[in-house]
Structure 1
Amino acid sequence: MTTPDTTSGWVKAAVLMIAAAMIFAVLDGLSKVIANDQSVGQIVWARYTFAIPVLIWASPGTEWRTLFRTRERKNQIIRGLIPLSISISMVLAVRHLPLADATVILYMGPLLVVALSQPLLGEKVRLSAWIGVFAGFLAVLIVTRPGVSDISLYALFPIAAALFYAFFQIFTRKLGAAGERPETTLAWTLAIGMAISTPLAAFTWEPISSLNWLIMIALGLTFGLAQIFIIRAFALAPANRLAPFSYAQIIGAVLFGVVVFGALPDLWTWLGIALIIGAGLYVMKSCG
């Protein structure tokens, strides 16, 4: 496994994390587009089933027979269940909440990553990481400007997703530190997700239009790409240091909202976005 505390390793890990976060934003945005037409089971099933081409693309043909060979079976199973929980929670979240709001609530997750990385991974949490993550969380508050009147029971869905997301990052890093191949981790994730989501989709099946089939295929491809990118990022860098870069998903959600839903950000939103970017650059510079 590559030890990442070098400038080149840091840059690669940061770029992969940002790319994964932006793709996750597109993934949730596409889920919202078809959330009123297709069942949660169908959407989650599509994420896993149509991600298989990404796994094939990312894995050398000589390694296909050994994709599921692992010394971390228990952690692979746990890690495979976590994205499934995030997917179900976020599909329900974007069905009932604006995309940006659901994404912002999801990003309670990086705070939990910093809090959990020391007891679960034994990683030292630097002051710069705490500063960067709290600056990012402040940006989240600026973007949403939450008030008591805005609180809804539907917010429980992205809150649950945030908790799962923290453990997702922790276990991804744990497997990377143990030397597990990214392709093996992705294979276990897809296999577990398909095994659970297939019967769920079958029992809740709704007719699918040609356009929605294309969107569902895109869901799988984006899910697969995001997964492989984030797995490789956590194989290169500690979870608590990468956490602030995952805020890029909020930027992606805003852009998707503008292009697809016509939701134009206001001045406060742009201020929050600038603070998020600044926090990520600060952590990369101080930890590089």
Structure 2
Amino acid sequence: MTEKARGILLIIAAVGFFGAVDGFSKILIETQSFGQIMLARYLPAFIVLMLVQGPKNWKGLFQTNMPGLQIIRGLTPACVGGLMVFAVRYLPLAEATVILFAGPFFVVALSGWMLGERVAASSWIGVAVGFLAVLLVARPGFDALSIYTLFPALAAMFYALLQIFSRKLGAAGEKARTTLAWTLLCGSIVSLIPALMDWRTPSAFDWVMLLCLGATFGLGQYCLTRAFALAPANVLTPFTYFQILSAAAFGVVVFHDVPDIWTMAGIALILGAGAYVFGRNAVGKSAATD
């Protein structure tokens, strides 16, 4: 299997975990504060990473030639999560989600400028079809847009920057576990204060959900950093739409929300767009090596 193919599989796994993260957050939002939910994404995974690595390896784990970019990249997931919390407070979830998924357009548009990568026509087509699929699934009504749309729009930009910075660090030779460590450390630090300021004692069930939230977020971040170390951002971007599959599955199993015909049609478009981009890139690589 080529590095590009492994990168695609890893990005699908990453967004699958992120779909579960949103599901666990939806469960917890009724009883836990914003700060606690954000802290739960980072702190458990950070502790596990430190225990697995062991004290002897801590210094090497954080050793990086790009500390500034590691910190900036580490803050982007917190910005995405925080902005989306504010977004869904003022906007319907469907509208906020559709605006967030403008992020892949930013990735494709910026990858040439920021990463020097050639953007293939197939990537543009895949992203466009994926975005149309999200519109079909969400079926948003844009008749009441307001100033609050700035929140998910900014989240979409940070989501794009997260992917761009991940690729930049991976291409520079930064280890995936180093990027993961910096991300979890930054997120733990910035979410600790709001969590302590509005702490709500979790029940036993809440503790389990918080730990599941941290585990899925940590696994998603690791897969994300590995994916962008193996494949170009503009190739991986169309596959970020697979997150909606994970969210739909979580909704069926946990919330008993069975997708309707429009959602099923959107999922089919998402799968088709991913298969098209994967096939075009595979053909391109084969032609290049002949």
Q: Normalization by structure 1: what TM-score?
A: 0.90
CA-to-aligned-CA distance 1:125-162 (integer Å, 9 cap, x gap): 01111011111111111112222346476654433321
Q: Bigger CA drift: 254-263 or 110-119?
A: 254-263
Q: Which residue of 2 aligns with 1:190?
A: 184
1: CA distance, partners of 2:222 / 2:184? 11
1:83-109: per-residue Cα shift (whole Å, max 9, x none)? 111122234456677766654442211
| Aligned-partner Cα distance in 2 for 1:50–1:100 | 30
Residue number in structure 2 paired with 1:4: none
| Displacement of 1:198 | 0.8
The within-5 A match list for 1:158-173 is 158-173=152-167
**1:143–1:269 CA contact under 8 A, matched in 2:** yes
Deviation larger for 140-149 or 194-203: 140-149
Distance 1:209-1:156 versus aligned 2 partners, 3 A rule: farther
Cα distance change, pair 184–274 in 1 and its aligned pair in 2 (3 A): same
Matches within 5 A, 1:147-226: 147-149=141-143, 151=145, 156-226=150-220
2:111 pairs with 1:127: no
Aligned 8 A contact 1:45 1:198 in 2: yes
Percent identity between matched residues is 52
Aligned to 2:30: 36
Q: Are residue 85 (structure 1) and residue 79 (structure 2) matched? A: yes
Aligned to 2:13: 19
CA contact (8 A) 1:129 1:240 kept: yes
Matched, 1:243 2:237: yes
Separation of aligned partners in 1, 2:183 and 2:200: 25
Write the distance in 2 (CA, Å) between the matches of 1:58 and 1:274: 39
Measured on the aligned residues, the alpha-carbon RMSD in Å equals 2.2
Deviates more, 1:234-243 or 1:52-61: 52-61
Contact residue 111 and residue 133 of structure 1 kept, 8 A: yes
CA distance in 1, matches of 2:90, 2:137: 19
Alpha-carbon spacing, 1:54–1:233, altered in 2? closer, same or farther (3 Å): farther
Query: What is the number of equivalent residue pairs in this alignment?
Result: 282
- C-alpha displacement at 1:262, in angstroms? 2.2
The residue aligned with 1:114 is 108
Partner of 1:52: 46
- Worse-matched range after superposition: 57-66 or 186-195: 57-66
Which residue of the partner structure matches residue 3 of structure 1?
A: none
Q: Output the CA distance in 1 between the equivalents of 2:200 and 2:211.
A: 16
Alignment check: 8 A CA contact 1:103 1:249 kept: no
Q: Letter of the aligned partner of 2:20 in structure 1?
A: V
2:257 aligned residue (259, 263, 287): 263
Letter of the aligned partner of 2:74 in structure 1? G
Show structure 2 runs of 5+ residues with no match.
283-290
How far residue 278 of structure 1 moved from its aligned partner, in angstroms, is 0.7
Residue type at the aligned position of 2:173: G
Q: Distance in 1 between matches of 2:117 and 2:91?
A: 35
Deviation at 1:187, TM superposition (A): 0.8
Matched residue type, 2:201: P
Aligned AA (1:26)? A
Q: Deviations over 1:38-65 (max 9, x none)?
A: 1111100111101125524775886433
* Offset, 1:67: 0.7
TM superposition shift of 1:111: 1.1
Contact 2:10/2:226 (8 A) holds in 1: yes
Alpha-carbon contact 2:10-2:224 (below 8 Å) kept:
yes
Check if 1:146 corresponds to 2:149: no
Contact kept? 1:35, 1:95, Cα under 8 Å = no
SS of the residue aligned with 1:235?
helix
Q: Could you say if the C-alpha distance between residues 99 and 51 of structure 1 is closer, same or farther in structure 2, counting changes exceeding 3 Å?
A: farther
Q: Which amino acid is the alignment partner of residue 209 of structure 2? A: I
AA at the equivalent of 2:158:
F
